[in-house]
Structure 1
Amino acid sequence: MRTTFPDSWRRLLAAGALLLAACTVSDRSDTADSAALAAKAAVAPAPDTTAANAAATPPAPTAAPTTAAESAAMALTAGAATAVALSDMRLEVDLAARKLYVIKGDRRLATHPVSVGSPEWPTKTGEWNVTQVVFNPEWIPPDESWAEQRERRAPGDPKNPLGAAQLVYDPPRSIHGTNEPASIGKAVSHGSIRLSNAVILQLARQALEEGGVPKDDAWFQRVQANRTQKEVVDLARQIPIRVY
């Protein structure tokens, strides 16, 4: 016997069937979307973190020099930043001729006789810069065998072997005056270069002018009047000297 349902029931059953079909389609769509997203994630390139890592990583410290050549190169670079100012005037000492030449540019301004080192204590040859001028210098015996029994001599002491002034370029050796004027022109010093006191004062004043620290007449008169007071002047422009 066939069962007959009322129209209201038939409409209700039809609506339920439609709802069930919609849910099935929705589930399939969600599954497909999820699968598509998963596939896309699988083939997508990994994010580039190189820049971020580089920014977060601190720079490596500068390596210390490991060889003598590297140390010398670093020292040269540092020295270039503190270059020395030089005067246009220069000094040349000819040991064989026992002469000191004052030169500026291509002109020889003066020639002076000098006393140089003895055969036992020869004057060192080479190139340096005069860095300092000392008026009324104090003599301190150097740490050398010939000076072991010598006494310290104050500025102005008649027995002070440095005389009236001193141009310092290679301590303890220098160009200086003397308390033995008869020695000028001879090879009798212990390595220093001697000038007469009159000439060393003239050269010292010239060195101050060319070295960028000139003094007036009153200053020189005061210094020479007070021979017991040492005066040290550092040159703003160093004066090249060559001894050969």
Structure 2
Amino acid sequence: MRIMLAVFMLVLGLSAAGCVSQPVNTANGNINSNNASTTPSPNASPVKVSAADEAAMPVTMPVLDAFFADESFQAELKTKLQLTDEQINKVRATAREETAKLRETEKDDYSGTTTAARARATEQLSAIIGPEKTQQLAALVRERWSGTNGTTAGDGSASDKGSPPSSGTETAHASGSKANAVPTDTRIVVNAPAYRMDVFEGGQLVKSYKIGIGYPEFPLPTGLRRASTIIFNPTWTPPDEPWVETSNKVKAGQTVEAGSRLNPLGLLKIPIGLPSLIHGGKALAKLGTFASHGCVGLTDQQAQEFAKLLARTGGAELSDEQIAEYAKNRSETKEVKLSRPVPVELRYETIVVEDGKLHIYRDVYDRDTNTEENLRRVLEAYGVSIDQLSEQERAKVMDALKQMSRDATGKLDEPTPSASPNAAATSRNGNSGTANKNENKNTTAAARGNQVTRTVKGQKEIVVEIAALKGKGYPAPAELNTGSGATQKPSTPPPPASKRR
């Protein structure tokens, strides 16, 4: 019983520490194959990360804590921000304390928001290093988080740590580019608000997955990453966190072997750049909601299927028999190296034209994306003006924008999304609405800040059928793996117009 309790506490602690990839010191468990499928091409559809997109990336204390796992980050705090050792140590200690407070429970009675977590971080950092340095620190974290400085665009593995992207021109889909862009190359596309991950090969959507995403307190980032390694039976190095210090079973910095009962990691993980992973181990109930700390969460069945598909896409051999063997020998860590890294594009799009219908998703990370300004941009990408909508269509869409502007707790943002002379500037700058919310919204949850928000309260999506969009848009899910063991075929009828779920 004591051992089971210890393992349970370690699992919770790992979640609190974030999905940070730990180096693996084992030889490759697979010989790469040259029998490749379509070659991944990160340069086929590059676009820049805009200032608005970077500004909207929420910097919370758990996110900041995860970046301290990279030694180069602390060095940059000295060289770029001119922080003293005392300031750095205090920032790190505060971030660690906030991360240690995060815990998962089986109750859904805690409701927090990204805005509240961001506001709390701003307040704490300002008290340590001042408001100006706090802004500079947030900008540095966003730069590294998006991969625009070449430090996190890789897979985050030991061999890739701190290295730039393979092409030097890999960039991320972001606001300012074509909305809902359909890749013309081979890549993985993740859209957090839709809880969806797609696999494209040569511009064709071949597989879709229903996923879990990062909690509001530790959101899934945006930007272009890459996957180059699949790690089976990973070892685990406990972080230097308070919850580890109080454990009698493990010690910070001491490796816990693969297959150990004290190792909370699952069968496999796929690093996609600090502090994020694609990994299994999630319960079916965690798909389609918050499930991790800055990661893409899958069930074990989904993770194994995805790993096999990723290996094929990246030019490596990985058979069902090999996966079964790795699962059988849990004490042996194996790496499957891809001969061609596969781009992983992390998006945040709450207004999506899909297969002729307008899908409006909840703004779960409080990024003020469900606005008329953004709606116009999306429609115009498909040659449709908002003025072309019928009175009934427009009424449904505007109501959907309002309802889907609710935060994760179900609270409705005010004022109602609408166009104004300053709407475009506000959207580009990403400052006005967010600043007000940081000061006024959900301060009670920010003050508590001792749990993670486990679920989204209320409906998550509204679908509106628009006549002018018929035959247009991002493709519908292909062979959707919902985690239940059954695959949803493309022939499954789409939800009716204005159906809410």
Q: Secondary structure at the match of 1:191?
A: coil
**Deviation by residue 1:63-86 (Cα, 9 ceiling, x = unmatched):** xxxxxxxxx9xxxxxx9xx759x9
**Deviation by residue 1:110-168 (Cα, 9 ceiling, x = unmatched):** 11111111111111111011011111222334567888768565433567554221111
Q: Secondary structure at the match of 1:215?
A: coil
Cα distance in 1, alignment partners of residues 222 and 244 from structure 2: 21
Stretch moving more, 123-132 or 180-189? 180-189
Contact 1:126 1:243 in 2 (8 A): yes
Cα distance in 2, alignment partners of residues 147 and 235 from structure 1: 34
Stretch moving more, 134-143 or 207-216? 134-143
Mapping of residues 12-27 of structure 1, within 5 Å: none
Contact 1:156 1:228 in 2 (8 A): yes
Decide whether aligned partners of structure 1 residues 172 and 193 sit closer, same or farther in structure 2, where only a CA change above 3 A counts: same
Name the aligned partner's letter for residue 202 of structure 1: E
Indicate the percent of aligned positions where both proteins have the same amino acid. Answer: 29
Higher CA-based Rg? 1
Alignment correspondent of 1:225: 328
Name the aligned partner's letter for residue 243 of structure 1: L
Task: Tell me if 1:183 matches 2:251.
Answer: no
Among candidates 60, 84, 90, match of residue 187 of structure 2: 90
**Deviation by residue 1:33-58 (Cα, 9 ceiling, x = unmatched):** xxxxxxxxxxxxxxxxxxxxxxxxxx
Decide whether aligned partners of structure 1 residues 89 and 136 sit closer, same or farther in structure 2, where only a CA change above 3 A counts: farther
- Shift, 1:98, TM fit: 1.0
- Shift, 1:209, TM fit: 1.6
Alignment correspondent of 1:236: 339
Decide whether aligned partners of structure 1 residues 210 and 143 sit closer, same or farther in structure 2, where only a CA change above 3 A counts: farther
Among candidates 109, 127, 144, match of residue 224 of structure 2: 127
Mapping of residues 1-244 of structure 1, within 5 Å: 83=167, 89-142=186-239, 154-157=257-260, 160-178=263-281, 180-244=283-347
Contact 1:116 1:186 in 2 (8 A): yes
Name the aligned partner's letter for residue 212 of structure 2: S
Decide whether aligned partners of structure 1 residues 94 and 127 sit closer, same or farther in structure 2, where only a CA change above 3 A counts: same
Name the aligned partner's letter for residue 268 of structure 2: A
Tell me the matched-pair count. 164
- Shift, 1:197, TM fit: 0.4
Cα distance in 2, alignment partners of residues 148 and 101 from structure 1: 40
- TM-score, normalisation: structure 1: 0.57
Q: Secondary structure at the match of 2:343?
A: strand
Q: Secondary structure at the match of 2:194?
A: coil
Alignment correspondent of 2:388: none
- Shift, 1:178, TM fit: 1.4
Cα distance in 1, alignment partners of residues 274 and 335 from structure 2: 14
Cα distance in 1, alignment partners of residues 243 and 293 from structure 2: 8
Structure with greater strand share of residues:
1
Decide whether aligned partners of structure 1 residues 114 and 145 sit closer, same or farther in structure 2, where only a CA change above 3 A counts: farther
Contact 1:162 1:179 in 2 (8 A): no
Cα distance in 2, alignment partners of residues 132 and 242 from structure 1: 16
Q: Secondary structure at the match of 1:213?
A: coil
Q: Secondary structure at the match of 1:170?
A: coil
- TM-score, normalisation: structure 2: 0.29
Cα distance in 2, alignment partners of residues 207 and 154 from structure 1: 26
Q: Secondary structure at the match of 2:218?
A: coil
Name the aligned partner's letter for residue 200 of structure 1: A
Cα distance in 2, alignment partners of residues 235 and 170 from structure 1: 15
Gaps of 5+ in 2: 1-148, 150-162, 171-184, 348-501
Gaps of 5+ in 1: 1-71, 73-78
Q: Secondary structure at the match of 1:227?
A: coil
Cα distance in 2, alignment partners of residues 190 and 198 from structure 1: 20
Decide whether aligned partners of structure 1 residues 162 and 98 sit closer, same or farther in structure 2, where only a CA change above 3 A counts: farther
Contact 1:211 1:238 in 2 (8 A): yes
Name the aligned partner's letter for residue 166 of structure 1: K
